[in-house]
């Protein structure tokens, strides 16, 4: 009987741990990157579907001075950049990271899109790390890629040599 209770307890703990892990996996950080003069504008959308308070989101970026410019966040959030660590931080102030995706977490950088990761720090001190989802090019860039592809297809069709189907007899 004691072993049955112990087995039940272990199953309950395993399911609780699994639920917590799955819950933390629901923090998403999605970038959209657009040209902004000689710089690139990074605009992150952040959503926290865990139901837990996440007071800080840190995004790994390039290290150094002059790398991150015009750092901004929506009303109710604070920002920070640590040039030695290469971390951009978005912090809750009077607003919370919630389940509804919220954009407007922005900065400019001379560096174009690259793979990046984030860390979400929960109010209880636990942390969760993950990759930012793939950078999404602006709609204009997608249009240019589409027009370029059509141009190449037309060019290839026009310049394609025509093969003769006539047979010559010897």
Q: Given the DSSP bridges, would you call strands 27-36 and 136-137 parallel, antiparallel or unpaired?
A: parallel
Question: How many structural domains comprise the chain?
Answer: 1
Assign residue 45 the CATH number of its domain.
2.60.40.2230
Distance (Å, whole) CA 65 – CA 67: 5
Chain centroid, CA 32 distance in Å: 8
- Which pLDDT does position 15 carry in this prediction? 32
87 within some domain: yes
What is the domain extent for residue 101?
A: 27-137
Distance (Å, whole) CA 22 – CA 45: 20
Along the chain (170 residues), what's the average pLDDT of each consecutive run of 10 residues? 40 35 67 92 93 94 93 97 96 93 95 88 92 62 55 59 59
- Which pLDDT does position 57 carry in this prediction? 96
Chain centroid, CA 170 distance in Å: 67
Which tokens go with 128? 């969760």
State the CB neighbour count (10 A cutoff) for residue 85: 12
122 within some domain: yes
102 within some domain: yes
DSSP lists the bridge partners of residue 105 as 44
15 within some domain: no
Owner of token pair 């102030």: 93
């Amino acid at each position: 009987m004691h072993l049955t209770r112990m087995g039940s307890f272990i199953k309950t703990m395993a399911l609780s741990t699994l639920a917590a892990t799955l819950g933390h996996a629901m923090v998403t950080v999605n970038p959209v990157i657009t040209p902004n003069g000689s710089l690139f504008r990074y605009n992150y959308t952040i959503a926290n579907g865990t139901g837990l308070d996440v007071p800080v989101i840190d995004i790994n970026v390039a290290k150094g001075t002059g790398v991150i410019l015009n750092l901004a966040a929506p009303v109710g959030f604070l920002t920070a950049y640590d040039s030695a660590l290469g971390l951009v931080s978005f912090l809750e102030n009077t607003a919370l990271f919630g389940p509804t995706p919220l954009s407007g977490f922005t900065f400019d950088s001379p560096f174009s899109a690259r793979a990046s990761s984030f860390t979400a720090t929960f109010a209880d001190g636990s942390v969760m790390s993950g990759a930012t989802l793939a950078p999404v090019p602006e709609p204009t860039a997608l249009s240019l890629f589409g027009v370029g592809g059509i141009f190449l297809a037309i060019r290839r069709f026009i310049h394609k040599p025509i093969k003769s189907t006539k047979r010559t007899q010897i």
